[in-house]
Copies of this chain bind each other. A is one copy, B any other.
Amino acid sequence: MSKMQYLVAMPTIAIVGATGLVGKELQKVLKIRNFPVDELRLFSSKDSAPNFRGVDIAFFCVSASVAEVLIPKALEEGSLCIDSSSAFRMEPHVPLVIPEINPSALKGHKGLIASPNCTTTLMLLALAPLHAVSPIEKIICSSYQAASGAGARALEEMRSKASLHESPQNNSGYNEEEEKMHWESQKILGDDSLVVSATCVRVPIPRVHSLSLHCTFKEEIALDQAEELLKNSPGLEWVDHAFTTDEASGKEAVFCGRLRVARDDPKSLELWVLGDQLLKGAALNSVQIAEECLK
């Protein structure tokens, strides 16, 4: 158990990694959403010794290796830690939370809550309303990931060279991002039988991840019903026209459209999902987790 017993109404906030792309977005999101802040302490990921004394909520927007070192220190000081890195996501005692989907996972947390991989979050936000009606058996996903998902340097590189990039494969044949989508989806939806076969590719887009999804459900969901569910889900916005990534950039919502029954398989639906991976895929989801904890 952390020392933190409850959260104060006007917390002292720390952002670790405040100068990175996600950290900067997080500062904006706190302001836009009028998140209560008594004091705000900003640390860059290079600050070797951020001081967490008196910090009620610490947001970590740093790499997994930095998070692994700093989060134990913040927990010792009793800070509620919200981590957007992959460092602790798969630890059984660490809730992995998308507030629209599994807020109940926050119950009995031990001071550390993980925010999922950006691509996982966008995908599940669109699929969870359908999963609630008929369980997902399998997802085949191809991603079109923005350069800013790989940090500020990748964004600069993109501007000089428009090309697609892949990451090296693991022994499984899948790369790290593709593995995360499988295992994190199982944990968030609480279903060990769920299969995610993902192909993750980086495209020369400054911002906004897009996903081509082919999703097989246990039972057939009628197209009308699926559309109705997607139109009425929190955090989701239905799109019925040709849509570019620019239109989703800087928006809190995740957008979905191009819904159709897969050719020759009535139990499978295909849809196109896109969202700002720096917002719902990272900073916004972390702030929403904090909001949920303050309720």
Please list the residues of chain A having a beta carbon within 8 angstroms of any beta carbon in chain B: 138, 140, 142, 144, 158, 161-169, 172-174, 182, 195-197, 199, 201, 203-206, 208, 210, 212, 214, 241-246, 258-265, 268, 270, 272, 274
Q: A142-B142, A214-B140, A246-B161 are in contact. Are A166 and B272 (CB under 8 A)?
A: yes
The 10 closest A-B pairs by CB, nearest first: A173-B260, A142-B142, A142-B212, A199-B212, A163-B244, A163-B246, A197-B263, A164-B245, A195-B264, A163-B245
Asked whether, in the complex, the Cβ of A244 is within 8 Å of the Cβ of B165, the reply is yes
Known: A201-B210, A203-B144, A214-B197. A260 touches B161 (CB 8 A): no
Q: Provided the pairs A196-B263, A214-B140 are in contact, do residues A167 and B242 lie with their beta carbons within 8 angstroms?
A: yes
By beta carbon, the residue of chain B nearest A196 is B263
Closest to A167 in B: B242
Q: Which residues of B contact A169 (CB under 8 A)?
A: 258, 260
Can you spell out 30 A-B residue pairs with CB atoms less than 8 angstroms apart?
Answer: A138-B264, A142-B212, A144-B144, A158-B162, A162-B162, A162-B205, A163-B205, A163-B245, A164-B208, A164-B210, A164-B245, A164-B274, A165-B244, A166-B242, A167-B242, A172-B260, A173-B258, A173-B260, A195-B263, A197-B214, A197-B262, A197-B264, A197-B268, A199-B214, A199-B270, A201-B210, A203-B203, A203-B205, A204-B204, A214-B214
